[in-house]
A and B are shown apart, each in its own frame.
Chain A
Amino acid sequence: MNAPDPRLMARTDPDPVQLYARRVPVFPRKVDGPFRRFKWAVMALCLIVYWGTPWLRWNRGEWAPHQAVLIDLAHRRFYMFAIEIWPHEFYFVAGLLIMAGIGLFLVTSVVGRAWCGYACPQTVWTDLFQHVDRLIDGDRNAQLRLQKAPWTAGKLARRLLKWAIWLGISFMTGGAWIFYFADAPALQRAFWTGTADPVAYATVGVLTLTTFVLGGFMREQVCVYMCPWPRIQSAMLDEKSLLVTYKHWRGEPRGSLKTAQRHLETGLAPVGDCIDCHQCAAVCPTGIDIREGAQIGCITCGLCIDACDSAMAQVGRPRGLIDYCTLEDATREAHGEADTPVLKTILRPRTLIYFAVWAGIGAGLLFMLGTRTRLTLSVAKDRNPEFVQLSGGAARDGFTVKVRNMEDRPRPVTLTTSGVPGALIYTDDMDEHGARGTLAMSVPADTTLRLRLYMLGPVGTKPGPVLFQLKAGDREQGHDQVRSTFSNAEGNGQ
């Protein structure tokens, strides 16, 4: 064994080893600036979309629900404005999820952890809850004082009020979720009259609780300890990804205005731009000090940039001591070189490939959406028995036929067979004497019509392949066809 370095053996720190870290509460100070205002805008957009979407209406006629966005699990339908998705078309949803994943890769490689900083629900709701904190308890310093204060009636009242508001927001958050899965106005009436499905109450209860705990108490712990995304992102960032960067070459050595003055007067080396006001750390919603460098706790929300810029403005120094900056530019700036042009940073093979894959999947989905048929036929031949010998000498084959009408209106269709001369078809609610070459029927709106179909082959019919053809009799003229086989005592023609 190598002897440890004796310099390191001598522990100056008398603290015992701590295997578990106490939570350090975070009380971010209020801040204003362009990034804060952008965050407000994104928060407003996210919340409006989340709370408003289920209440949009979309007229689909008499055969389908009128909610614009509806995940109708009970009836296995997914409505999104003009698009209706059936369970067998779930690849559209899978495609969207893959696009969302690759979109995150794309965004990460261009602008870093922008998702974490602005759009992640954990960020949005934590931000909202922190505003409630400031509303009830006051800004950072007041919150710190209240935290340390003994439990008086006043503190208890403030805490109860704050928790009640958190709970209210949480209830609205959990409550809104269920409206995506049922007709929103009807469900709301049922919810308040106590007649909604128990699943609805349980869902609201669970989501209220998780929002309350995750947004009220767990906050940055979710980002640092629970969420896999920061870990994945830290593997995805490269030297051209945007990070919130403290420009240490400009800021160090730190010193207050007084120190700077003294250094100037006594002829000591001049101090850096950082006046060590700790405003960047005070406004941080995850409680980190960005001057320690890039770290997992940094969600790149840019609030420290706003805080530093206003501090720089007060002391008359240029903005951007803390700023969005790529690692590459940081190195160049530290050596006094100019930044890489923005376009050159953004347009690089990695982002272009991500974009190509993302856009390719999107274009593929749009193509499939545009060319998909809303009328399909499937035919499954009976395997046991393969055919039934009838007393008159004819053979009867059984088929299970499914005609899927995915339009929100009934459609007249005809089913025709060809390939085996003389073979006729009839359904199980018809008499075999009614067997014919073409069956006409009406398929109800938004329905899979399941038919028990018989094919009758008179004496002397040769077995062989059969083509079933479905044609819509209305103006839209949809059609589909399926191959199958007719068998009799002579075999199946193969």
Chain B
Amino acid sequence: MAHDHGAAGTETGHAEHHGARLDEATGTHTVGHEWDGIEELDTPLPRWWLILFYICIAFALVYVILYPALPGLRGATPGVLGWTSRGALATEIKTADASHAAVRAAIAQTPVEDLIRNPTLQRAAIEGGRAAFKQNCVQCHGAGAAGGKGYPNLNDDDWLWGGDIGAIYQTLQHGIRYPGDDQTRTSLMPSFGRDGILTPAQVQDVVSHVRVISKQDPASASSQRGAVIFAQNCAVCHGANGEGGRTVGAPRLNDAIWLYGGDRASITNTVTNAHAGVMPAWGQRLDPVTIKMLAAYVHSLGGGEATPTVPVAAR
């Protein structure tokens, strides 16, 4: 046994220790080693301590056999248990997925409009959506979903294509002006200036009118001329008073929110060149449950609208 061997080793080793002597000051023997006049007192450890040491060695041997341990050129010895940190992570993910399975199944069976009527499912969906948003959406819409120029702020009460949860789901699923999806939301504002539909002077008049209906400027001769041009060219999509049109994603112009800027130069640029923002059809990339969760999350950010009484399909 290892223990007997070790004990015998220390006991037969005394031949080397012929220098051992009794130290007068302490009344303790020295072990016989001496370095430049410095000697070591023999204060023996308890034997069980030595046994613990051998137990540790035995434990280490077993560990080396069972687990990855000895490093080599192409990685460590695998160990007979086949344990890997990656495998442990995979197991943890599997466990987490399994613990989410029930609520995900419930979300899958629930129409998205009903999701927000069930507080438990809604909370689960919002938290799941919060995580998915950080992975997929923040690149354009920002970590706080506040968007930026050309990327809508999802916290506010202004929605291009509708702010009830069904409309948000539709936008997420099929995207906006996304080439690879037949049902994608699509519309195209003409480049009124660049394509010569309006002269530069007419563009300036329209901009004046838009500045008036958004209460940024007082009425002027230019804006009165622009009102006529607006009624002929713009009102069909943006509405007679600039109230916007959600069926074609035409922004409201008589409010305080501007996707591409509300100052004179920005509006001039928009009327001249037009904008056509694109959002991917997430239905092609994410599973339906995740998209429902994202819809619930975006809907919860503060500007979510109530579901209209008419079902989405019948609109």
Contact = CB atoms under 8 A, between A and B. Distances in A.
Contacts of A1: 34, 36-37
Given A11-B21, A390-B256, A382 B37 contact: no
Given A20-B50, A391-B257, A8 B24 contact: yes
Interface in A79-120: none
Nearest to B147: A385
B10 A19 contact: yes
Interface string A374-405: 00000000111100111111001010000000
Contacts of B50: 20
Interface stretch (B73-81, B155-163, B195-203, B286-294): B155-163
A428 B157 contact: no
A428 B301 CA distance: 9
B42 interface: yes
From DSSP, what is the main secondary structure of chain A's interface residues?
Answer: loop
B252 interface: yes
Interface in A2-30: 2, 4-5, 8-9, 11, 13, 16-23
B53 to A, nearest CB: 10
B118 to A, nearest CB: 14
A430 B146 CA distance: 21
B302 A398 contact: yes
A454 interface: yes
B306 to A, nearest CB: 9
A19 B21 contact: no
B14 A384 contact: no
A297 to B, nearest CB: 12
Contacts of B158: 390-391
Contacts of A4: 21
A23 B156 contact: no
- Contact residue range for chain B? 35 or more
Interface in B139-178: 142-146, 153, 155-158
B45 interface: yes
Interface residues of A, number: 33
Contacts of B36: 1
Interface in B188-230: 215
Interface in A184-238: 218, 221, 225
B183 interface: no
Interface of B: 7, 10-11, 13-14, 17, 20-24, 29, 31-32, 34, 36-37, 42, 44-50, 142-146, 153, 155-158, 215, 252, 255-257, 300, 302-303
Contact of A8 (B11, B22, B144): B22
B45 A390 contact: no
A225 B300 CA distance: 62
A19 B157 CA distance: 81
Nearest to A3: B37
Given A1-B37, A17-B13, A385-B153, 7 more contacts: A1-B34, A11-B20, A17-B14, A388-B153, A391-B255, A392-B255, A396-B155
Contacts of A16: 11, 13-14, 17
B234 to A, nearest CB: 18
Given A4-B21, A388-B302, A18 B146 contact: no
Contacts of B303: 388
B48 A19 contact: no
B4 to A, nearest CB: 12
Contacts of B46: 20-21, 23, 221, 225
B42 to A, nearest CB: 6
